[in-house]
């Protein structure tokens, strides 16, 4: 199926399962901002139904939902140019999610590495929602016939599963209704790693605050965390290839590159031979320069939750106007009677 009959449309989301991290910013939000006005309709979501796959304190969930919305807005998502809303206000996500639960195969879900990582040795005790999460994610994307999904590296497998669900639905019902969505995984920071262990992803819900930069951290905290980030004793090498096997060093170079809008190669070329005592303060200054204005703006926005709620409500209305006809057509294709 060619994708040309579908409106070029971007969908992506972030779960309010805690505060936003530098990983969310560089791997997702910064790239979402860049895609605004680039020939796509852009739809960005706070995926609160995904957050509750793990227990969330209700008041904390509301705060985190507003914080993610504030992060989007402070980083440059413009509600006049993009649709911005929280998932639970558009009930069509859950409805299409159920249909996709009936399309996706258990064997496909069993291959999802994120489920294995999150469930760990506790797989019998985690929620059914955590297991079914990728099929709701497919619904989030396909409810808008989204053609492109910018995500970090960790979500690649879920977008591939979204394509499998679309293809199986189209095949089972003999239609060409859902597009085969393209994952967009680009740039130097598609996988920002934990500052204390360069082999683990930087996550919102990681144990120690020192392992991540939060988008709400103030200048001193950002600077302190980066200066204390784990590294090895060797200086920066002459070529990127020489960072092989040095995950912490590779991570800091990637973060620098993404913040400075440079390639990692250019960062290495500029700083070859520098020790960490030189490079880390430069990185800390750069991070403060780029992130402090965003955290200041987030704090301003968070002081007026009513305004954030209003923006999300208006976005939800716009989202429903695209989602509803696509869901109704899906019901008709499946044979669900509508009076
Ligand atoms: N470390 C990261 N590097 C690059 N991209 C990242 N993303 C998340 N962490 C990194 C990208 O941000 C988008 C939203 O992800 P999410 O927060 O909805 O889900 P997640 O990937 O499960 O995030 P966390 O922080 O790991 O959440 P918890 O700890 O609650 O499970 C996605 O595009 C993701 O790729």
What pLDDT digit, counting tens, does each position of 137-175 carry? Answer: 999 999 999 999 999 999 999 999 999 999 999 999 999
Q: CB 61: neighbour CB atoms within 10 A?
A: 17
The residue ranges of every structural domain in the chain are: 9-184+304-334, 209-300
Nearest to 257 by CA among 20, 30, 12: 30
pLDDT score for 4: 63
How far lies 37's CA from each of 6, 8, 33, 101, 270, in Å? 17, 11, 9, 34, 32
CATH architecture for segment(s) 9-184+304-334: 3-Layer(aba) Sandwich (3.40)
Task: Using the mean position of ligand 1's atoms as its centre, give its distance from the Cα of residue 20 in Å.
Answer: 9
What's the CA-to-centroid distance between 262 and ligand 1, angstroms? 22
CB-ligand 1 contact for 15 (6 Å cutoff): yes
Report the pLDDT averaged over residues 186-199. 94
Q: Would you say the CB of residue 202 lies under 6 angstroms from ligand 1?
A: yes
201 lines ligand 1 (CB under 6 A): yes
pLDDT given for residue 78 in this prediction = 98
Q: What is the pLDDT of residues 66-75, one digit of tens each?
A: 999 999 999 9
Task: Give one DSSP letter per residue of 109-169, joined into a string.
Answer: HHT-HHHHHHHGGGTTTS-HHHHHHHHHHHHHHHTTT-SEEE--GGGHHHHHHHHHHHHHH
- Which residue, chain included where needed, has tokens 């189209």? 170
Q: What is the CA(32)–ligand 1 centre distance, in A? A: 14
Catalytic residues: 118, 201, 204
- H-helix or E-strand containing 256? helix 247-260
- Domain 209-300 fold is Tyrosyl-Transfer RNA Synthetase (1.10.240)
* Tokens 């910064």 -> residue: 30
Ligand 1 pocket test target in 146, 150, 152 with most atoms within 8 Å of CB: 152
Q: How many angstroms separate the CA atoms of 40 and 10, rounded?
A: 6
pLDDT at 123: 86
Residues 77-94: what's their mean pLDDT? Answer: 98
The mean pLDDT of 284-290, rounded to a whole number, is 97
3-state secondary structure of 234: coil
Which structure tokens are listed for 25?
A: 């910013």
Strands (E) in the chain, as ranges, are 9-14, 41-46, 82-86, 148-150, 182-184
Average the pLDDT over 189-209 and give the result.
Answer: 93
């Amino acid at each position: 199926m060619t994708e040309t009959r579908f409106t070029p449309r971007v969908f992506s989301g972030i779960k309010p399962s805690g505060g936003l991290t530098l990983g969310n910013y560089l791997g997702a939000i910064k790239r979402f901002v860049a895609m605004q006005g680039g020939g796509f309709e852009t739809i960005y979501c706070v995926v609160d139904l995904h957050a509750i796959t793990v227990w969330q304190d209700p008041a904390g969930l509301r705060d985190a939902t507003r914080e993610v919305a504030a992060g989007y807005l402070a980083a440059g998502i413009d509600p006049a140019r993009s649709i911005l809303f929280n998932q639970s206000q558009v009930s069509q996500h859950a409805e299409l999610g159920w249909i996709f639960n009936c399309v996706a195969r258990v064997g496909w879900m069993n291959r999802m590495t994120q489920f294995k990582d999150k469930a760990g040795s506790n797989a019998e005790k985690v929620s059914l929602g955590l297991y079914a999460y990728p099929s709701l994610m497919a619904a989030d994307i396909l409810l808008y016939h989204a053609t492109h999904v910018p995500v970090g590296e960790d979500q690649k497998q879920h977008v591939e599963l979204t394509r499998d669900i679309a293809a199986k639905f189209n095949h089972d019902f003999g239609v060409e209704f859902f597009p085969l969505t393209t994952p967009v995984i680009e740039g130097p920071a598609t996988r920002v790693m934990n500052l204390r262990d360069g082999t683990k992803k930087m996550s919102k819900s990681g144990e120690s605050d020192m392992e991540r930069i939060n988008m709400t951290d103030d200048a001193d905290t950002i600077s302190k965390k980066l200066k204390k980030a784990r590294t090895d004793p060797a200086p920066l090498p002459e070529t990127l290839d020489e960072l092989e096997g040095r995950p912490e060093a590779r991570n800091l170079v990637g973060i620098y590159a993404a913040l400075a809008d440079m390639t990692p190669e250019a960062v290495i070329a500029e700083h070859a031979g520098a020790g960490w005592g030189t490079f880390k303060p430069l990185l800390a200054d750069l991070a403060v320069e780029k992130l402090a204005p965003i955290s200041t703006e987030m704090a301003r926005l968070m002081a007026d939750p009513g305004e954030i709620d209003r923006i999300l409500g208006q976005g939800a209305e716009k989202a429903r106007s695209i989602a509803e006809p696509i869901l109704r057509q899906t019901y008709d294709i499946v044979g669900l009677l509508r009076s």
